Structure 1
Protein backbone atom coordinates (compact mmCIF):
# COMPACT_ATOMS: atom_id res chain seq x y z
CA UNK A 1 0.00 0.00 0.00
CA UNK A 2 1.12 3.53 -0.63
CA UNK A 3 0.01 6.80 0.90
CA UNK A 4 0.49 10.53 0.58
CA UNK A 5 3.15 12.38 2.54
CA UNK A 6 2.10 13.79 5.89
CA UNK A 7 1.98 17.41 6.80
CA UNK A 8 1.87 19.16 3.42
CA UNK A 9 -0.64 21.97 3.96
CA UNK A 10 -2.56 23.44 1.06
CA UNK A 11 -3.57 27.10 1.31
CA UNK A 12 -7.28 27.74 1.79
CA UNK A 13 -9.36 30.17 -0.26
CA UNK A 14 -9.40 33.58 1.42
CA UNK A 15 -7.78 34.74 4.63
CA UNK A 16 -9.79 32.80 7.24
CA UNK A 17 -10.22 29.46 5.50
CA UNK A 18 -9.14 26.42 7.50
CA UNK A 19 -5.93 24.66 6.50
CA UNK A 20 -6.11 21.48 4.45
CA UNK A 21 -3.46 18.88 5.29
CA UNK A 22 -2.63 15.55 3.64
CA UNK A 23 -2.51 12.57 6.01
CA UNK A 24 -0.04 9.73 5.74
CA UNK A 25 -1.20 6.14 5.42
CA UNK A 26 -0.59 5.28 9.09
CA UNK A 27 -2.78 8.20 10.25
CA UNK A 28 -5.49 7.26 7.75
CA UNK A 29 -5.58 3.68 9.03
CA UNK A 30 -5.63 4.90 12.65
CA UNK A 31 -8.63 7.14 11.92
CA UNK A 32 -10.69 4.39 10.25
CA UNK A 33 -9.65 1.56 12.60
CA UNK A 34 -12.76 1.74 14.83
CA UNK A 35 -14.97 0.80 11.86
CA UNK A 36 -18.34 2.36 11.20
CA UNK A 37 -20.03 3.49 8.01
CA UNK A 38 -18.20 4.14 4.76
CA UNK A 39 -19.21 4.59 1.15
CA UNK A 40 -18.38 2.01 -1.50
CA UNK A 41 -17.92 3.41 -5.00
CA UNK A 42 -17.79 1.40 -8.21
CA UNK A 43 -19.12 1.37 -11.77
CA UNK A 44 -22.15 -0.92 -11.79
CA UNK A 45 -24.48 -2.04 -14.53
CA UNK A 46 -26.44 1.23 -14.29
CA UNK A 47 -23.37 3.48 -14.11
CA UNK A 48 -21.42 5.03 -11.23
CA UNK A 49 -22.72 3.72 -7.90
CA UNK A 50 -22.04 4.82 -4.32
CA UNK A 51 -23.50 2.85 -1.41
CA UNK A 52 -23.15 3.22 2.36
CA UNK A 53 -22.00 0.06 4.13
CA UNK A 54 -21.02 -0.86 7.67
CA UNK A 55 -17.36 -1.86 7.68
CA UNK A 56 -14.52 -3.06 9.89
CA UNK A 57 -10.79 -2.75 9.31
CA UNK A 58 -9.51 -6.34 9.60
CA UNK A 59 -6.00 -7.57 8.78
CA UNK A 60 -5.31 -4.35 6.84
CA UNK A 61 -8.39 -4.85 4.66
CA UNK A 62 -11.88 -3.34 4.66
CA UNK A 63 -14.53 -5.97 5.40
CA UNK A 64 -18.30 -5.61 4.94
CA UNK A 65 -21.31 -7.85 4.33
CA UNK A 66 -24.12 -7.97 1.80
CA UNK A 67 -26.82 -10.41 0.75
CA UNK A 68 -25.92 -13.28 -1.56
CA UNK A 69 -27.19 -12.60 -5.12
CA UNK A 70 -28.10 -9.01 -4.19
CA UNK A 71 -27.68 -6.24 -6.79
CA UNK A 72 -24.41 -5.27 -5.03
CA UNK A 73 -23.13 -8.85 -5.17
CA UNK A 74 -24.09 -9.19 -8.84
CA UNK A 75 -22.57 -5.80 -9.79
CA UNK A 76 -19.27 -6.68 -8.12
CA UNK A 77 -18.71 -10.03 -9.83
CA UNK A 78 -16.47 -9.92 -12.88
CA UNK A 79 -17.48 -13.31 -14.24
CA UNK A 80 -13.79 -14.16 -14.55
CA UNK A 81 -12.35 -16.63 -12.06
CA UNK A 82 -9.96 -14.98 -9.56
CA UNK A 83 -10.48 -11.52 -11.12
CA UNK A 84 -11.26 -8.77 -8.66
CA UNK A 85 -13.28 -5.60 -9.15
CA UNK A 86 -11.57 -2.21 -8.69
CA UNK A 87 -13.41 -0.04 -6.16
CA UNK A 88 -13.10 3.08 -4.07
CA UNK A 89 -14.07 3.28 -0.41
CA UNK A 90 -14.43 6.56 1.47
CA UNK A 91 -14.80 7.20 5.18
CA UNK A 92 -15.04 10.58 6.81
CA UNK A 93 -15.86 12.39 9.99
CA UNK A 94 -17.16 15.94 9.74
CA UNK A 95 -18.09 18.70 12.18
CA UNK A 96 -19.90 21.31 10.03
CA UNK A 97 -20.28 23.75 12.94
CA UNK A 98 -16.51 23.79 13.54
CA UNK A 99 -15.74 23.55 9.79
CA UNK A 100 -13.39 20.68 10.54
CA UNK A 101 -13.03 16.99 9.84
CA UNK A 102 -11.13 14.36 7.93
CA UNK A 103 -11.66 12.12 4.94
CA UNK A 104 -9.89 8.89 3.95
CA UNK A 105 -10.03 7.37 0.47
CA UNK A 106 -9.08 3.75 -0.11
CA UNK A 107 -8.65 2.40 -3.62
CA UNK A 108 -8.16 -1.27 -4.27
CA UNK A 109 -9.51 -4.63 -5.36
CA UNK A 110 -12.75 -6.07 -4.04
CA UNK A 111 -12.64 -9.76 -3.25
CA UNK A 112 -15.58 -12.12 -2.56
CA UNK A 113 -14.69 -14.20 0.48
CA UNK A 114 -15.17 -17.77 -0.69
CA UNK A 115 -13.06 -20.19 1.34
CA UNK A 116 -14.25 -21.40 4.72
CA UNK A 117 -10.87 -20.53 6.25
CA UNK A 118 -11.04 -16.92 5.08
CA UNK A 119 -14.73 -16.69 6.03
CA UNK A 120 -13.83 -17.72 9.60
CA UNK A 121 -11.16 -15.03 9.68
CA UNK A 122 -13.41 -12.20 8.48
CA UNK A 123 -16.28 -13.40 10.68
CA UNK A 124 -13.94 -12.70 13.61
CA UNK A 125 -13.89 -9.01 12.56
CA UNK A 126 -17.37 -8.67 14.05
CA UNK A 127 -18.73 -6.51 11.21
CA UNK A 128 -22.50 -6.17 11.54
CA UNK A 129 -24.70 -4.57 8.86
CA UNK A 130 -27.48 -2.24 9.99
CA UNK A 131 -29.81 -3.39 7.22
CA UNK A 132 -32.13 -6.26 8.07
CA UNK A 133 -32.28 -9.61 6.38
CA UNK A 134 -29.58 -12.20 5.78
CA UNK A 135 -26.25 -10.62 4.87
CA UNK A 136 -23.92 -13.60 4.91
CA UNK A 137 -21.74 -12.72 1.92
CA UNK A 138 -18.48 -11.18 3.14
CA UNK A 139 -16.65 -8.83 0.81
CA UNK A 140 -13.13 -7.57 1.37
CA UNK A 141 -11.21 -4.65 -0.12
CA UNK A 142 -7.44 -5.03 -0.37
CA UNK A 143 -6.08 -1.47 -0.47
CA UNK A 144 -3.55 -0.53 -3.13
CA UNK A 145 -3.69 3.19 -2.30
CA UNK A 146 -4.66 4.94 0.95
CA UNK A 147 -4.91 8.73 1.08
CA UNK A 148 -6.53 11.21 3.39
CA UNK A 149 -6.92 14.84 4.31
CA UNK A 150 -7.82 16.82 7.40
CA UNK A 151 -9.33 20.29 7.42
CA UNK A 152 -9.88 22.74 10.25
CA UNK A 153 -8.77 22.51 13.87
CA UNK A 154 -5.70 20.32 14.26
CA UNK A 155 -5.01 20.39 10.51
CA UNK A 156 -1.74 22.27 10.83
CA UNK A 157 -0.16 19.43 12.78
CA UNK A 158 -1.34 16.63 10.44
CA UNK A 159 -2.37 14.54 13.48
CA UNK A 160 -5.30 14.11 15.80
Structure 2
Protein backbone atom coordinates (compact mmCIF):
# COMPACT_ATOMS: atom_id res chain seq x y z
CA UNK A 1 0.00 0.00 0.00
CA UNK A 2 1.15 3.52 -0.61
CA UNK A 3 0.10 6.82 0.90
CA UNK A 4 -2.26 7.48 -2.05
CA UNK A 5 -4.88 5.24 -0.42
CA UNK A 6 -4.46 6.99 2.93
CA UNK A 7 -2.36 4.26 4.53
CA UNK A 8 1.36 3.83 5.07
CA UNK A 9 3.00 0.45 5.60
CA UNK A 10 4.96 0.17 8.84
CA UNK A 11 8.19 -1.76 8.97
CA UNK A 12 8.89 -4.38 11.64
CA UNK A 13 10.84 -1.99 13.89
CA UNK A 14 8.08 0.64 13.77
CA UNK A 15 5.52 -2.02 14.62
CA UNK A 16 7.53 -3.28 17.60
CA UNK A 17 8.00 0.32 18.79
CA UNK A 18 4.24 1.03 18.64
CA UNK A 19 2.95 -2.16 20.29
CA UNK A 20 4.01 -1.36 23.87
CA UNK A 21 2.29 2.04 23.70
CA UNK A 22 -1.14 0.45 24.12
CA UNK A 23 -2.31 -1.73 27.01
CA UNK A 24 -4.65 -4.15 25.21
CA UNK A 25 -4.54 -6.25 22.06
CA UNK A 26 -6.50 -9.18 20.62
CA UNK A 27 -5.50 -12.80 20.12
CA UNK A 28 -7.05 -14.38 17.03
CA UNK A 29 -7.17 -18.16 17.19
CA UNK A 30 -9.31 -21.15 16.23
CA UNK A 31 -11.98 -22.42 18.62
CA UNK A 32 -14.03 -25.44 17.56
CA UNK A 33 -12.93 -24.90 13.93
CA UNK A 34 -14.19 -21.29 13.97
CA UNK A 35 -12.26 -18.04 14.29
CA UNK A 36 -12.24 -16.54 17.78
CA UNK A 37 -10.96 -13.20 19.03
CA UNK A 38 -10.14 -12.42 22.65
CA UNK A 39 -8.96 -9.08 24.04
CA UNK A 40 -5.98 -9.39 26.40
CA UNK A 41 -3.52 -7.17 28.16
CA UNK A 42 0.05 -7.94 27.14
CA UNK A 43 3.67 -6.93 27.22
CA UNK A 44 6.48 -7.35 24.70
CA UNK A 45 9.46 -9.40 25.80
CA UNK A 46 13.03 -8.36 25.09
CA UNK A 47 13.08 -10.37 21.83
CA UNK A 48 9.82 -8.84 20.55
CA UNK A 49 7.66 -11.81 21.55
CA UNK A 50 4.15 -10.98 22.76
CA UNK A 51 3.54 -12.14 26.34
CA UNK A 52 0.13 -12.78 27.86
CA UNK A 53 -0.53 -13.88 31.45
CA UNK A 54 -3.69 -15.89 32.03
CA UNK A 55 -5.25 -18.66 34.08
CA UNK A 56 -3.60 -22.02 33.60
CA UNK A 57 -7.09 -23.51 33.32
CA UNK A 58 -8.46 -21.09 30.74
CA UNK A 59 -9.94 -22.26 27.49
CA UNK A 60 -7.53 -19.90 25.77
CA UNK A 61 -4.46 -21.80 26.99
CA UNK A 62 -5.69 -25.16 25.74
CA UNK A 63 -6.80 -23.65 22.41
CA UNK A 64 -3.58 -21.83 21.53
CA UNK A 65 -0.70 -23.81 23.05
CA UNK A 66 1.55 -24.80 20.11
CA UNK A 67 -0.90 -23.23 17.61
CA UNK A 68 -0.37 -20.56 14.99
CA UNK A 69 -2.18 -17.41 16.13
CA UNK A 70 -2.44 -13.75 15.24
CA UNK A 71 -2.17 -10.93 17.71
CA UNK A 72 -3.44 -7.46 16.83
CA UNK A 73 -3.19 -4.15 18.62
CA UNK A 74 -4.09 -0.70 17.46
CA UNK A 75 -4.64 2.88 18.41
CA UNK A 76 -7.32 5.08 16.86
CA UNK A 77 -7.95 8.78 17.19
CA UNK A 78 -11.55 9.19 16.03
CA UNK A 79 -11.43 12.98 16.18
CA UNK A 80 -8.31 13.24 14.01
CA UNK A 81 -9.25 10.26 11.82
CA UNK A 82 -5.83 8.76 12.35
CA UNK A 83 -4.34 5.67 13.87
CA UNK A 84 -2.34 2.53 13.36
CA UNK A 85 -2.76 -1.24 13.50
CA UNK A 86 -0.10 -3.91 14.03
CA UNK A 87 -0.48 -7.68 13.53
CA UNK A 88 1.96 -10.24 14.90
CA UNK A 89 1.61 -13.79 13.60
CA UNK A 90 3.42 -16.71 15.14
CA UNK A 91 3.28 -19.82 17.24
CA UNK A 92 1.90 -19.48 20.77
CA UNK A 93 3.40 -21.61 23.53
CA UNK A 94 2.94 -21.82 27.25
CA UNK A 95 6.16 -20.98 29.08
CA UNK A 96 7.15 -24.14 30.98
CA UNK A 97 10.77 -23.42 31.91
CA UNK A 98 10.81 -22.64 35.67
CA UNK A 99 13.59 -20.04 35.41
CA UNK A 100 11.84 -18.28 32.55
CA UNK A 101 8.56 -18.34 34.48
CA UNK A 102 10.27 -16.72 37.48
CA UNK A 103 11.77 -14.03 35.25
CA UNK A 104 8.36 -13.29 33.75
CA UNK A 105 6.79 -13.06 37.20
CA UNK A 106 9.08 -10.05 37.70
CA UNK A 107 9.08 -8.52 34.22
CA UNK A 108 6.06 -9.91 32.39
CA UNK A 109 2.54 -8.56 32.14
CA UNK A 110 0.23 -8.43 35.15
CA UNK A 111 -3.13 -10.08 34.63
CA UNK A 112 -6.13 -7.76 34.80
CA UNK A 113 -8.17 -10.73 36.03
CA UNK A 114 -5.85 -12.60 38.43
CA UNK A 115 -6.34 -16.33 38.88
CA UNK A 116 -5.09 -18.75 41.51
CA UNK A 117 -2.67 -20.39 39.05
CA UNK A 118 -1.41 -18.35 36.15
CA UNK A 119 0.80 -19.14 33.17
CA UNK A 120 2.56 -17.04 30.57
CA UNK A 121 1.85 -17.52 26.91
CA UNK A 122 4.54 -16.43 24.44
CA UNK A 123 3.72 -15.59 20.82
CA UNK A 124 6.89 -15.70 18.74
CA UNK A 125 6.89 -12.87 16.18
CA UNK A 126 7.33 -14.83 12.95
CA UNK A 127 5.59 -12.18 10.81
CA UNK A 128 5.01 -8.60 11.95
CA UNK A 129 3.02 -6.20 9.78
CA UNK A 130 1.36 -2.89 10.32
CA UNK A 131 -0.12 0.15 8.74
CA UNK A 132 -0.83 3.69 9.73
CA UNK A 133 -3.69 5.87 8.57
CA UNK A 134 -2.14 9.05 7.27
CA UNK A 135 -3.99 12.08 6.00
CA UNK A 136 -7.41 11.09 7.36
CA UNK A 137 -10.56 13.03 6.52
CA UNK A 138 -9.85 15.82 9.00
CA UNK A 139 -6.44 16.44 7.42
CA UNK A 140 -7.55 16.41 3.77
CA UNK A 141 -11.25 17.18 3.91
CA UNK A 142 -13.92 14.73 2.84
CA UNK A 143 -12.73 12.43 0.08
CA UNK A 144 -14.90 11.69 -2.89
CA UNK A 145 -15.64 8.02 -3.59
CA UNK A 146 -13.40 6.41 -6.23
TM-score, normalised by the number of residues in structure 1 = 0.77
Note the C-alpha offset of 1:52: 0.4
After superposition, where does 1:1-160 map in structure 2 within 5 Å? Answer: 9-12=2-5, 19-34=6-21, 36-45=23-32, 47-59=34-46, 60-77=48-65, 84-134=66-116, 136-153=118-135
CA distance in 1, matches of 2:101, 2:108: 12
Contact persistence 1:100–1:151 (CA under 8 A): yes
CA distance in 1, matches of 2:135, 2:117: 39
RMSD: 1.9
TM-score, normalised by the number of residues in structure 2 = 0.84
Aligned residues: 135
Note the C-alpha offset of 1:117: 1.2
CA distance in 2, matches of 1:113, 1:35: 23
Residues 22 and 135 of structure 1, relative CA distance in 2, 3 Å threshold: farther
Q: Greater helix percent: which structure?
A: 2
CA distance in 2, matches of 1:115, 1:9: 43
Please, which runs of 5 or more residues in structure 2 have no aligned partner?
137-146
CA distance in 2, matches of 1:153, 1:123: 41
Note the C-alpha offset of 1:143: 0.7
CA distance in 2, matches of 1:132, 1:46: 28
